[in-house]
């Protein structure tokens, strides 16, 4: 039984009214106004600070002393800048393609075919959703590293010296970043494929097309808007990405914009102007991409809501190829999940890092685990992290509910709301961290130095995700469901509270958990904003990393991952249920 409302969300999007007409006599505008103001207060100041820093000089104590273009001049005159820009683009593009191919193929196999062992694919996704990026990266560095099993094995086999694969290269960066993103791609494209109208594919089959023909000529083209939107999204995130370029790229002297920013912030005194100038460049690049993203993702959603009567998930029968598909899934499972985890386990059991070897077996020890458990403080840090992430996620989903609803319904100020909410996508993590710190130091509220500032930074950073979840969620609801409420005499708020919100629950919960998870994955912001009052897990991880406590980091990371995985499971169950409810599958 499918929700009557889900049929023909298309019509809903088709109805558009002139914004002027709306502002008069539309009772949603107070909400719209309040929300836009709130969003503006959150989103605009950091951007302002960033721009200001990039064009001003400051004295020792950081007060603005004058305008200058020096930072930019220094940038453009520096030949390395061009290289960095180029590397950034190559890196982002490469990893995007890789993640799309891996994640997309997997999503299709799992959602639209009768491939076996689907569970493994989900498992890989769920767990890596809960694993901090840096753990992945470290594990991969080790696996592909000079003494990693790959190269060691190759040397052992061929007896040759040297390495089969140099990890500290662009190739290595792309490989690792790509694999890092593939689970997310799997998740999002999975939803698209699930929502796709099976009739389209069956029509192709009835026309005599083989599974492959159908995939190539029908399924992919139809999913293309969604795929492109997702591609752009990953691309943008890869541009801002820090862990991989820093850990993998820099040793190989492959520099990208984000690492340049990083280097500018670690010199003493930190050259914020220069960093800001870099950031502004990234912001510009990303902003341009974002423009296309917003347009694409609209199409994507339009395709999404094509479900309706007789929608039933009807997987392809791959026939003999089933087992090939199964093999692919298994390989992915090993590559994306098993190997890294085993590596981490290995690292966590060694007193000091060394390659896989029987020789090492005697010194296996639980010391690292003991260290983690004994070292006090980890518990409080964990609690802090969870509280912040939960708080941020909640705030985001609340704001996004208002903003997303009005935006998706072309309500008053809909466009503005949409843009405001998506704005922070342009910030690379580090830049955002700096900007937020400077902003809230100037705010006469006890925010700086408390957990609040980190929470706020998260809210700013992850607002776009919440927005997406709500936005597409609303588009799945037939507009008449709301109009029925209004005609029944319900005001805008009542309608929102009693009809829209309940119907969006799946989307809201899914979004909440998603944000909660990724908020706990990233370092840059927390490390910068953490102060005595507000230590979080990220800081501990950062400590362990910079201090080379690989073992302790691995041990702790594994425990943390275990916890996150539990939560991720809930998230996943939600996603499925959400999909089921919304698509009436």
Ligand X SMILES: Nc1ncnc2c1ncn2[C@@H]1O[C@H](COP(=O)(O)OP(=O)(O)OP(=O)(O)O)[C@@H](O)[C@H]1O
User: HSE on the CB side for 52, CA within 13 Å?
Assistant: 16
Half-sphere CA count of 394, side-chain side, radius 13 A: 7
Vertex 517 angle, CA 393 and 3, to 5°:
70
Nearest to 84 by CA among 275, 308, 336, 309: 275
One DSSP character per residue, 225-262 reads HHHHHHHHHHHHHHHH--HHIIIIIGGGT---HHHHHH
Partner interacting with residue 312 (select from other proteins, ligand X, none; CB below 5-8 Å by kind): ligand X
**Ranges within 5-24 binding other proteins (CB under 8 A):** 5, 7-8, 14, 16-17, 21, 24
CB of 107 to ligand X, least distance (A): 22
Residue numbers 512-541 binding other proteins by CB under 8 A: 527-528, 530-533, 535, 539-540
Distance, CA of 446 to CA of 452 (rounded, Å)? 9
Binding mask 301-320 for ligand X (x = CB under 6 A): -----------x--------
Site track 208-247 with other proteins (rule: CB under 8 A), x = hit: xxx--x---xx--xx-x---------------------xx
d(CA 375, CA 372): 5
CB of 507 to ligand X, least distance (A): 24
Q: Which stretch binds other proteins (CB under 8 A): 101-109, 117-125, 174-182, 349-357?
A: 349-357
Is there a contact between 417 and 39 (Cβ–Cβ < 8 Å)? yes
**Residue 11 binds to ligand X (criterion: CB under 6 A):** no
Q: Which one of residues 68, 116, 164, 308 is an interface residue with other proteins (CB under 8 A)?
A: 308
Which partner, other proteins, ligand X, none, binds residue 396 by CB below 5 to 8 Å per kind?
none
Q: Is 80 or 327 the residue whose CB approaches other proteins more closely?
A: 80
Polymer length of the chain: 585
- Helices then strands, counting H and E runs in the chain, come out as 28, 2
Scanning residues 427 to 446, which ones bind other proteins (CB under 8 A)? 437-438, 441-442
Report the nearest approach of ligand X to the CB of residue 314 (Å): 8
**Does 281 interact with other proteins (rule: CB under 8 A)?**
no
Question: 85 is written with which tokens?
Answer: 């820009």
Does residue 67 interact with other proteins by CB under 8 A? no
Enumerate the β-bridge partners of residue 241. none
- C-beta of residue 138 within 8 angstroms of C-beta of residue 123: no
Q: Which is nearer to other proteins, 158 or 363 (CB)?
A: 363
Start-to-end CA span in the chain (Å): 8
Please give the residues from 450 up to 479 whose contact with other proteins meets the rule CB under 8 A: 478
Q: Is 206 a binder of other proteins (CB under 8 A)?
A: yes
Return d(Cα 371, Cα 181) in angstroms, integer. Answer: 32
Quote the least distance from Cβ 254 to other proteins, whole Å: 11
67-74 contacts: CB < 8 A, separation 24 or more? 68/273, 70/273, 71/273, 71/274, 71/276, 71/277, 72/277, 74/274, 74/277
Report strand pairing: 64-67 vs 56-58.
antiparallel
Q: Which stretch binds ligand X (CB under 6 A): 9-17, 72-80, 265-273, 570-578?
A: 9-17
Rounded CA-CA distance 286/241 in Å is 12
* Residue range at the interface with other proteins (CB under 8 A); choices 204-212, 284-292, 398-406, 568-576: 204-212
Report 235-264 residues binding ligand X (CB under 6 A): none
Site residues (CB under 8 A) for other proteins, limited to 30-59 = 59
Stretch that binds other proteins, among 129-137, 145-153, 229-237, 324-332 (CB under 8 A): 145-153
Would you say 159 or 502 has its CB closer to other proteins?
502
Nearer CB in complex with ligand X: 14/375: 14
Least distance (Å) from ligand X to the CB of residue 312?
5
Instruction: Quote the least distance from Cβ 125 to other proteins, whole Å.
Output: 25
Taking the complex as a whole, the smallest distance from the CB of residue 11 to ligand X amounts, in Å, to 9
Q: What residues does 56 pair with on adjacent strands?
A: 67
Q: State how far the Cα of 166 lies from the Cα of 62, in Å rounded to an integer.
A: 42
The only residue of 4, 15, 57, 213 in contact with ligand X, by rule CB under 6 A: 15
Number of residues that bind ligand X (CB under 6 A): 4
Contacts with ligand X by CB under 6 A lie at: 14-16, 312
């Amino acid at each position: 039984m499918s929700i009557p409302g889900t049929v023909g969300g298309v019509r809903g999007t088709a109805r558009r009214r002139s914004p002027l007409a709306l502002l008069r006599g539309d009772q949603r505008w107070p909400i719209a106004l309040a929300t836009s103001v709130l969003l503006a207060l959150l989103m605009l100041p950091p951007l302002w600070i960033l721009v200001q820093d990039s064009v001003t000089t400051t004295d020792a104590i950081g007060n603005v002393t004058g305008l200058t273009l020096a930072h930019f001049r220094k940038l453009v005159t520096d030949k390395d800048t061009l290289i960095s820009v180029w590397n950034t683009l190559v890196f982002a593009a490469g990893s995007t393609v890789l993640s799309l191919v891996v994640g997309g193929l997997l999503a299709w196999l799992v959602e639209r075919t009768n491939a076996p062992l689907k569970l493994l694919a989900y498992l890989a996704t769920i767990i890596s959703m809960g694993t901090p990026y840096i753990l992945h990266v470290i594990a991969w560095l080790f696996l592909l590293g000079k003494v990693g099993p790959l190269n060691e094995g190759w040397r052992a086999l061929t007896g040759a010296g040297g390495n089969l694969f140099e990890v500290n290269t662009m190739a290595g960066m792309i490989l690792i970043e790509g694999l890092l993103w593939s689970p997310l791609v799997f998740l999002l494209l999975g939803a698209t494929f699930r929502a796709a109208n099976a009739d389209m594919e069956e029509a192709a089959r009835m026309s005599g097309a083989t599974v492959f023909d159908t995939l190539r000529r029908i399924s992919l083209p139809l999913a293309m808007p969604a795929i492109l939107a997702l591609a752009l999204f990953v691309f943008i995130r890869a541009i801002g990405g820090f862990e991989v370029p820093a850990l993998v790229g820099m040793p190989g002297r492959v520099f990208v914009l984000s690492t340049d920013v990083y280097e500018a912030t670690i010199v003493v005194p930190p050259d914020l102007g220069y960093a800001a100038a870099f950031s502004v460049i990234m912001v510009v690049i990303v902003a341009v991409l974002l423009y296309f993203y917003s347009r694409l993702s609209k199409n994507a959603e339009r395709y999404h809501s094509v479900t309706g009567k007789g929608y039933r998930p009807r997987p392809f029968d791959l026939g003999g190829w089933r087992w090939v598909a199964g093999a692919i899934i298994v390989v992915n499972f090993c590559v994306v999940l098993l190997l890294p985890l085993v590596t981490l386990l290995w690292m966590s059991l060694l007193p000091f890092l060394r390659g896989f070897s029987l020789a090492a077996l005697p010194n296996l020890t639980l010391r690292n685990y003991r260290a983690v458990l004994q070292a006090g403080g980890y518990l409080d840090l964990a609690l802090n992290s969870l509280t912040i992430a939960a708080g941020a996620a909640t705030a985001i989903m609340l704001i996004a509910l208002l903003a997303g609803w009005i935006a998706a319904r072309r309500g008053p100020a809909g466009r503005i709301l949409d843009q405001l909410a998506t704005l922070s996508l342009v910030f690379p993590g580090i830049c955002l961290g700096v900007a937020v710190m400077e902003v809230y130091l100037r705010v006469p509220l006890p925010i700086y130095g408390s957990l609040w500032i980190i929470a706020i930074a998260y809210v700013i950073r992850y607002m776009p995700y919440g927005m997406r979840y709500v936005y597409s969620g609303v588009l799945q609801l037939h507009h008449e469901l709301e109009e029925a409420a209004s005609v029944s005499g319900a005001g805008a708020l009542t309608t929102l509270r009693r009809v829209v919100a309940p119907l969006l629950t799946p989307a809201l919960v899914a979004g909440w958990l998603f944000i909660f998870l990724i908020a706990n994955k990233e370092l840059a912001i927390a490390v910068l904003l953490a102060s005595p009052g507000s230590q979080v897990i990220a800081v501990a991880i950062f400590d362990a990393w910079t201090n080379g406590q690989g073992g302790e980091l691995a041990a702790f990371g594994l425990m943390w991952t275990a916890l996150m995985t539990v939560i991720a499971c809930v998230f996943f169950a939600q996603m499925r249920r959400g999909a089921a409810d919304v698509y009436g599958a």
